[in-house]
Structure 1
Amino acid sequence: MSSPAPVHIRDESIRLGQLLKLAGLVEDGAMAREVIAAGEVSVDGQAETRRGAQVRAAASWTSPASRSRSSPERPRSTSPGDHGP
């Protein structure tokens, strides 16, 4: 069995419903709410039923379709001549 691919997040934490959408496991917030309310998602080994629960970077989480880990987003490289807006 291969290791799950991490889901990269920009901030230190993300709401659980948003994480499921980012991971591509649900199509929208309504679907996320149903999956979470049914007790099908766990964070760091504990069942989580709150869609707005904060999931921190490096937390492990599971859902019926996936077992994964959230991680901080990798910094983006800029071109040598790119000085921003």
Structure 2
Amino acid sequence: MKPISIQTEYIKLDQFLKLADCVSTGGMAKALLQEGQVRVNGEPEERRGRKLYPGDTVEVEDIGRFEVTAGA
């Protein structure tokens, strides 16, 4: 699992997918979510605006698993 550090209280899922280099645009994030390829904390997630907090995990099919961590 790859840690992805954020500097804020939370990050929206579509922004997180870009930060983690899973997608390069918001449109790609939307398509990935609509296809059911993203799970947050083990549950399928389709909402681009889902707020992620440190400790949450994101799994993207065929790409990998990531953990949201708090920045220094």
Which TM-score tier does this pair reach, normalised by the shorter chain?
Answer: over 0.9
Q: Which has the higher contact order (CA 8 A, sep 6+)?
A: 2
1:21 and 2:5 correspond: no
1:63 to 52, 60, 63: 60
Q: How much is the aligned-residue C-alpha RMSD, in angstroms? A: 0.8
Q: Give the aligned residue type for 1:13.
A: Y
Divergent runs of 4+, >4 A: none
Among 51, 56, 68, which residue is 1:54 paired with?
A: 51
1:40 to 4, 24, 37: 37
TM-superposed CA distance for 1:6, in Å, is 0.3
- Match for residue 9 of structure 2? 12
Normalising by structure 2, we get a TM-score of: 0.92
5+ residue gaps, structure 1, are 75-85
Counterpart-to-counterpart distance in 2, 1:41 and 1:25: 11
Residue identity over aligned pairs, in percent, reads: 32
> Between Structure 1 and Structure 2, whose CA radius of gyration is higher?
1
Q: C-alpha distance in 1, partners of 2:51/2:40?
A: 10
Unaligned runs of 5+ in 2: none
Amino acid at match of 1:62: E
Matched to 1:55, the amino acid is L
Letter of the 1:34 counterpart: A
Deviation at 1:36, TM superposition (A): 0.8
Number of positions where the alignment pairs a residue of Structure 1 with one of Structure 2: 71
